[in-house]
Amino acid sequence: MDRVNNTAKRADKNKILPHGVPNDIYENPEDFGVLDFKIKVDKEAIDYVRNLYAPQDHPVFQLVPPTFAEYAVQFYEAMNAPPVSRHNIWEVYLILLDKFHELEEIPEAYHADWYRVAMTDEPEPLQLLEGLCELANGEDGMDSDGNYYMGGVNNGAGLDGCQLERIDEIEAQDEPQLQSDSQDPEPELLVEFSGEEDADEW
C-alpha cells in the first residue's frame, strides 16, 4: 500500500480526477487544481461510531453461513492462527481450501445453508436503511450527456458557488501571464542559406 500511494499512476486521458502521486494529492490538493474536502476525525470518534452503528456481530458482516464459519475457524486455529498479511494470504487460503476438500462428508443439515449461498445467481436488492434518504439529484438530476452526481459534497447537492469560485481561482493561478509592458520590437529571425556549390565545404 505504501508503494502504491507513493507512486504516480499511468496517465489516463479519460480520468477526471487529479493525476499524480496519491499521497501528494492528499496532502496538497490545491497544487493539483482541486479543493480539499478532508474532514479530520479523532480515531476514538470513529471507533465509537463503528461500535454503535456497525458492530462486528451485525448480520451484514456475516459473509458465510455460520456453520461454514465454524469449520473455517477450526481449520484456521489448527494452523496456529497465523497473522494474515498480503505476503501469506494466498498460502493461508489454499491450506484452508485443502482442509475443506479433505472433509469426508458435509453434514446433511448444513447442505441447505452452504449451497443456498453458492447457487444464488442474483443478490437481493439492498433496502435503504431506516432514517436515511436517497442522494440528492441522482438519476433525477441527469444532464444531457447522461451524467449525474452521486457524491456526498454538501449533502449530495454538489459544489456550491463559493467552491466553484475557488476552483476558478486555482485554475487562474496556473494560466501563463502573456501581458508585457515592454515596447521593444519582436526580434527578427535571420537565416542564411548557402548555395549548392558551398555544400561541400561543410
Show the beta-strand stretches assigned E in the chain.
none
**39-81, pLDDT tens digit by residue?**
888 999 999 988 888 888 887 888 888 888 888 999 999 999 9
Other C-beta atoms closer than 10 Å to the C-beta of 39 total 5
Residue 161 exposed, middle or buried by CB count within 10 Å (0-12, 13-18, 19+): exposed
**84-121, pLDDT tens digit by residue?**
998 999 999 999 999 988 887 777 777 777 776 555 55
How far apart are the C-alpha atoms of 48 and 42, rounded to whole Å? 10
Provide the grid cell at 87. Answer: 505476503
Its pTM stands at 0.41
How far apart are the C-alpha atoms of 169 and 163, rounded to whole Å? 10
